[in-house]
Amino acid sequence: MRIAAVAEAFRRLREANPHPTTELEYASPFQLLVAVVLSAQATDKGVNIATRKLFALAPTPEAMADLGEAAIAEQIKTIGLFRNKAKNTALLSRQLLERHAGEVPNDRAALEALPGVGRKTANVVLNTIFGEPTMAVDTHIFRLANRTGLAPGKDVLEVEKRLLRRIPKEYLRDAHHWLILHGRYVCVARKPKCGECIIRDLCLFKDKTGTGP
């Protein structure tokens, strides 16, 4: 996809959804951090169901550390990998208290040093909480970037770097959310809804489905 087409794609995405945000439910930076850690190999809907109960009991790092791994696991047992996620949630809560005075750090290295936090999770937090123009490449964005020709790459890091280079600066703040939502609801894995796609005519995918502009 040519750079002019990339700019037009994001113009349309912004016009359709001027203020995109994550579908994870949270009331603080700490809660978003935990929700993103829990979202690995789980749906946002499933995570929200679990965190409503969890955050009611433990809304802060102090309360989460006090709650402990076993009780956390009991609250999140409906989502995948819940035992390991409960362990990481308890550990990262304690580390936030011990190393960051209970605050979520605005620093990639510090975030990635927390248990259960990788590059993608750090990018989500840096973007959603701190407004940094980062790009958290999940399976939806990886698929969409390659399928459409927006920013093809062999792995998530290559796609991330290409997206950051190719997306005009005025769209970078919200680009991550637009792409996730588009990949989640329109450019889906098995049967992409090309007939509903507002960037269909810009997309380089050869096997488009349905009808459209």
Which residues are tagged catalytic? 120, 138
Of 97, 65, 70, the residue nearest 86 (C-alpha): 70
| 3 state DSSP class of 209 | coil
Of 212, 213, 134, 211, the residue nearest 180 (C-alpha): 134
| 3 state DSSP class of 26 | coil
Helix (H) or strand (E) holding 126: helix 119-128
Contact yes or no for 98/91 (Cβ under 8 A): no
